[in-house]
Amino acid sequence: MAHLDRSVATLRIIGDDLNPDEISALLGHTASKQQTKGEVIIGKVSGVSRIAKTGMWYLEAMDATPENLDGQIAELLGKLTGNLKVWAKISSSCRIDLFCGLFMKHSNEGLSVSAESMKALGERGIELGLDLYGPDEADD
């Protein structure tokens, strides 16, 4: 099986009552991006302001070319506490997911996620979300 061309991964914690500073303290690492519900967010490109509908805490992994989702999971979780009681506390009031963008260069590429990675995500209550992006037709 040919590996996907590229992968991006972001750990996201989402909740209306989420306090980003509290999440950082619990997990032992600051967020790449964060917001609280009701906060005014100004678009970096558009300059348009909006009100955050919910609280969010994001931690981004380094992009991987070729795809290396297992490495990105290890990178992210390696920065955070391994204390499963902390993860249970967070997941009791927030949704936690690993949002992944998977980019194909050709029409037949794939990936595998190791049992170790799936176990680590499951123990922490982290849902795995995969967005697949096909190759540009002009590239084939």
Q: What is the pLDDT of residue 26?
A: 98
List pLDDT tens digits, range 53-102: 999 999 999 999 999 999 999 999 999 999 999 999 999 999 999 999 99
With vertex at residue 91, the alpha carbon angle to CA 71 and CA 52, rounded to the nearest 5 degrees, is: 90
Interval 36-65 mean pLDDT? 93
pLDDT band (50, 70, 90) for residue 138: low
